[in-house]
Structure 1
Amino acid sequence: MKKKIIFEDEKDFMLKKLLKKFKRKPIILLDMDDTIAEFAQPFWTLHNKLFKDFVDYLKVNGWNFDEFSKRGKDAYTLFKYPGLFRNLPPKPYAKEFIEDLREIAEVVIVSDSPSGTSYLETVSLDIDPEHTIDFPHSNPTDDKRMWLEEHFNFDKDDIVFCSKKDRVIGDILIDDKPATYNSFVEANRKIILLDAPHNRDIDTKWRAKDLNHAKKLVYRMLEEMIKEEAS
């Protein structure tokens, strides 16, 4: 007997049919930086330009940027660089990915909130002994919020800024940060790890190589959840 081939559109239909058995619409939590937005490449390009460094973003295989920058913790000051988060390019398939998720679930952004500058505060960054850059105004959180609205039409009510993502209610999180992955696993919560150089030491069957793959893993995870609820 020949094995039946199930095409993607048929899988979508079958999942939507199964989801009708859910008492509520699932909530998918979604990280922003290096999940739906390209962050590493723009960040390290800016870093190398300002600090005259030569960091290859593809070789940044750890979470602590100061370990890869010749300027150490000065690298984190660039999080306050005006417009950094406002001008990030979306990842490939990001728009289609979010559109598909919205058909079957509530999608909520859960993102870190880098600090900006407060009223009358100016950040000075020494590029070299004779060159200093002043940041008179920086608001990374609003930059992120406007970026999400522009590219994916996210309302402010569907965006949560925090570092401890395990405190946010949701059924599945998609993220790239190793510490976040570990905290969800320890709490017995469902998480899909988006592949990146800084998380490849984690062994998991729930690693997504890109957003197309992440969608398939979301569907598989939801199918498992439906079966668990039915049993």
Structure 2
Amino acid sequence: MITSKYNILNYGRSLSPTELLGHLCASLVIVCLITLVISQNIQASVDDASIFLGPPLGETIILDGGDGMDIQRMTLAVSESGIYSVEDRMRTPKCEVTQEDIIKNNLSEKIARIMRGEEDLVDNYTLQAVDGKIIITRCDEAEIVVDLINRKWTHRGDDLSGKYFEIRCRIIDEKEELVHGEMRKVIYAEALSGVGDKAFETVYKIASGLGVIHYEVVSPSDPLVLFTLKDN
């Protein structure tokens, strides 16, 4: 049997008020269920910042720091509340550091050994997911790495002379890419800041399960990659 357009448009007119109300209620329930499922899926994909924590416990990833310097990054521990304790180790190329250099620049023996390539430069910090954000804490200073909910955020920078400046960040792109042997969610973020009369722009890349895997200064000079993942 073929249903005519007229019959479709006049379907409700052949129902009693009670039957019509029942059909409307059923339709409303279905619409609400569909909306709820869609909302939950969107919420899970947008707000789940914890998928960008990494690297996994016990796994070491290697980042190319340029000039022959590799950064070994590993997660030393993960707390019950999901806080990652991460360590970066970098060995600089060997260079000559004389006693005169040490005295002239007021270098500690530890710094001198690092400059000679005799000891690793070690950076320890924590990462955690809080309310759709990835928070990095280093030397008791907390900063937002990425904010998946607001997509724009700010934090302050320090020019090492005691002066602070604002850094404005935002998400500029989201993709799925083959990284380190797996298809991963990848976020590209941009950070803009001004120091004196100069404006600096940096971009960085965050991959699910690995954390920040690429960091690059875009301006004011020629692009300079501070580190990038060596996908060996």
- Same fold (TM > 0.5): no
**TM (normalized to structure 1)?**
0.23
Q: Which is greater in Rg?
A: 2
Larger helix share, 1 or 2 = 1
Task: Using structure 2 for the length normalisation, give the TM-score.
Answer: 0.23
